[in-house]
Amino acid sequence: MIRGAALALVVVLAGCATFDPPRAWEKGDLARPSMRLDADPLAMRVTQHIYQSKEAAAGGGVVGGGGCGCN
């Protein structure tokens, strides 16, 4: 059973692997703003600010301040 799970894991990871870089005509599609993880930078900053305010932790983001949420 462990061998089967290990084999399945190897097959899944091998299927995700790519060995050639993107071609020139593919780079234009990858550079579109809709392909970014944070398509809306302002919304991402607001989300990070809310998260940091609720968790009372700052750092790693672009917003300074403490846990009060007033910044």
Domain range annotation of the chain: 2-55
pLDDT of residue 18: 66
Residue 40: strand, helix, or coil: coil
User: 9 pLDDT exceeds 60?
Assistant: yes
The answer to whether 58 and 64 are in contact (CB under 8 A) is yes
Confidence grade of residue 6 (pLDDT, cut at 50, 70, 90): very high
pLDDT of residue 25: 85
Q: Which tens digits make up the pLDDT trace of 14-68?
A: 776 667 787 888 888 888 877 777 777 888 888 888 887 777 665 555 555 555 6
pLDDT of residue 65: 54
Could you give the CA distance from residue 52 to residue 59 in angstroms, rounded to a whole number? 8
Tokens of 17: 């692997």
